[in-house]
Amino acid sequence: MYLIKISIKQQKFHFPELENEIIYNYNNFEIQICYDNFLNSVSENDNDLTFTETPTGNVIQNDDNSALDYVSMFFDKTSGRLNVEKKILSGRKVYYYHTEDEILISSHIKLLKKAGVQLFENTAILPEFFVHRFVTAPNTLYKDIFQLKPSEKISVQLDGNAIVLLKNKDYAPFSKSSNKDLVYSNAENYQDKIKNLLEKSLTNLRPVKDRVTSMLSGGLDSSILYKILYHKFNISTSFSTCYPFDNKEVGEAQYAKTAAEYFKADHQHKEFTNNDYVKGVIESIYLAEEPLFHLQTVMFNLLFKNMPNNKIVISGQGADGFFGSPSHNSLNNSQKLKYKLLSIPPFPKLIWKFGDHSLSKELNIAKRYRDTKHLPFANKDHFIWSIGNQGDKKWVAKYFNVTEEQINSNRLKIIDNVSDKSLYEIMTSLDFIGDKSATEGIWSKIAEAHKNIIYYPFNNENLIKYNMSLPWDLKLKKMKGLLHYVARQNDVPEFIINRKKKGFFISPTDWIGQGVMNPLIPLAAKVVDIKILKELQKNSKGFLFWNFLNYAIWKRLFIDNESVESLLNELELK
């Protein structure tokens, strides 16, 4: 954790949880840097002051002389300029709050609050949250508190008595690399290059390999990473968990256990109760400092709480957006002759009638993509707005008395910055800045709270740069076909490569039907009309119900300043 405060007030704040403090005076300004020893490194000389967040606790130089930084801040003592960058590798949050006479930059909201920032709800952004389950950077749920997008840079110029915030208007995380080795050419073996870059992302951790372990879900991505760690470092430890209310014969637990048994892993699978989960919702929201995006976040909190600390935990999160998500695949399918022909009546009805519901659903999606992809992005009917739409946009628009276009407005700004790119890259950009960034930020905070660090190998800058130079028709020859190749080269068996992705998903009808979240309703009803909660629960609008429960608990904790203990004491558990 860290907080950097630049002010002309010269009003110091004390943070007992942060062991280190540096005070530097520049003209009329005081720069206060407070940080703990967990992820942070500071260096100073006569010319500059450098602060970094890195998974190793200090800067490690790779073979290419770049650092394993998550966040980098550099203050030039001569010019009075602070440059801040959230590295593309990072899954970390970088918040900032700026007024005329001060700027605060921090990893955590609670540190901003201790430094004197009042927390108010950002009501204007709520419709977006209730549709997508998160708020897209640079906005947050806190009024006037912003966050950096991944790979975004900002500068702070100290000029006279003014603190000037300068933002990079040319934000382009996937810009073509100047390094020719990271740009695809027709003659090269691109599959091996992807394999080598992913392996390099993990071998960069060689100096701290004794602290490395992995989350093994038994899916394709986590299995690849586990096998690379085993081949390169002889690391065989892994962890997994599952929902206590997932009663499917083949669920997360079975996927993880079958993979671990095949690999002969030193594997620990942790199981918890429904009561653990319900209490974990409140604790996880407190640690995340925002409503939870995914239901599995609670399980990861319980897992990190019950595993050894001081670990660098490898996560396969984030691969789909670069290697081909279901949405990328649907767009690709929409142009195939097969999908065009089968969309002509009476084929759709016949396909449904004779039971191929999966193909019928894919045909409908492909047709919607094909029919709307030429619309302006501002048009609410463009297929781009159906991606990640988990909250019933029409219901939300009516509830908040806004239009669907207004709900899309924050995310439309992201699209405007990349509107000259292909639809595939636009979809990746929305995922990269939205879903992916929101998920990784929350998980990283929760891991840190339990003295663990999450490392996302698929975020490696060189891997992303090269991957994004590949033509999409290569990447979509087969769904995640590039990773199938990497898996086979690392001895991942065919039964793991070819089995259906689980993705830690559980249908809302499953957990609503079991009444798992019922103990949270009285807590949420102190913020949200209980009639609304009952309506959403009854009609199985699962993610809206989940969003309202999360929102209400978050508001009580951070806006109304109630304690975790008081909310836990209100629970009536069986």
pLDDT digits (tens, 9 = 90+) for 260-292: 999 999 999 999 999 999 999 999 999 999 999
Residues 125 and 210 in one domain: no
In terms of domains, do 162 and 192 share one? no
CA distances from 218 to 273, 445, 496 (A): 22, 24, 7
User: Does any domain span residue 205?
Assistant: yes
Domain span at residue 280 reads: 188-322+439-498
Say whether both 37 and 163 belong to one domain. Answer: yes
Percentage of the chain surpassing pLDDT 90?
75
Element housing 360 (H / E): helix 357-372
In a domain, 240, yes or no: yes
Assign 291 to helix, strand or coil. coil
Query: Are 300 and 353 in a shared domain?
Result: no
Q: Look at residue 235 and give its three-state secondary structure.
A: coil
Q: Are residues 114 and 24 in the same domain?
A: yes
Residues 148 and 232 in one domain: no
Of 375, 374, 352, whose CA–CA distance to 362 is shortest?
Answer: 352
Residue 137 lies in a domain: yes
234 is a domain residue: yes
Which is it for strands 453-455 and 312-314: parallel, antiparallel or unpaired? parallel
With 50 as the cut, is the pLDDT of residue 399 above it? yes
pLDDT given at position 78:
95
Tell the burial category of 518 from Cβ atoms under 10 Å away from its Cβ (0-12, 13-18, 19+): middle
Tens digit of pLDDT for each residue in 525-568?
999 999 999 999 988 667 899 999 999 999 999 999 999 999 99
What's the pTM value of the predicted model, to 2 decimals?
0.95
| Same domain as 268, residue 353 | no
**Boundary residue ending a domain (457, 478, 498):** 498
pLDDT tens-digit series, residues 410-445: 999 999 888 889 999 999 999 999 999 999 999 999
Asked whether residue 64 carries a pLDDT value surpassing 50, the answer given is: no
What DSSP element (H or E) covers 95? strand 95-99
Band the pLDDT of 67: cuts 50, 70, 90: low
The answer to whether residue 168 scores a pLDDT higher than 90 is no
CATH number for the domain spanning 32: value is 3.60.20.10
Same domain, 30 and 159: yes
Residue 294: give its domain's CATH number: 3.40.50.620
- Co-location of 314 and 210 in the same domain: yes
β strands within 194-350, DSSP E: 212-215, 237-241, 266-270, 312-314
Q: Which residues, other chains included, contact 174 with Cβ-Cβ below 8 Å and sequence gap of 6+?
A: 421, 425, 428, 429, 464, 465, 468
Mean pLDDT of the chain: 92
Instruction: Give the domain-ending residue among 132, 167, 202.
Output: 167
3 state SS for 368-400: HHHHHCCCCCCCCCCHHHHCCCCCCHHHHHHHH
Tally of domains in the chain: 4
Residues 525 and 491 in one domain: no
Tokens 């209100």, located at residue: 570
Q: What is the model's pLDDT at position 161? A: 87
- Regarding whether 289 and 267 lie in a shared domain, the answer is yes
Could you report the per-residue pLDDT of 137-159, keeping only the tens digit for each?
Answer: 999 999 999 999 999 999 999 99
**Residue in this structure with the two tokens 């002010």, named with its chain if needed:** 7
Pair 236, 268 in one domain = yes
**CA gap 137, 148 in Å, rounded:** 6
Give the three-class secondary structure for 93.
coil
Given its phi and psi angles, is residue 238 left (phi above 0), alpha (psi -120 to 50 degrees) or beta? Answer: beta
- Percentage of the chain surpassing pLDDT 70? 97
For residue 413, tell me if it sits in a domain. Answer: no
Question: Could you tell me if residue 13 is inside a domain?
Answer: yes
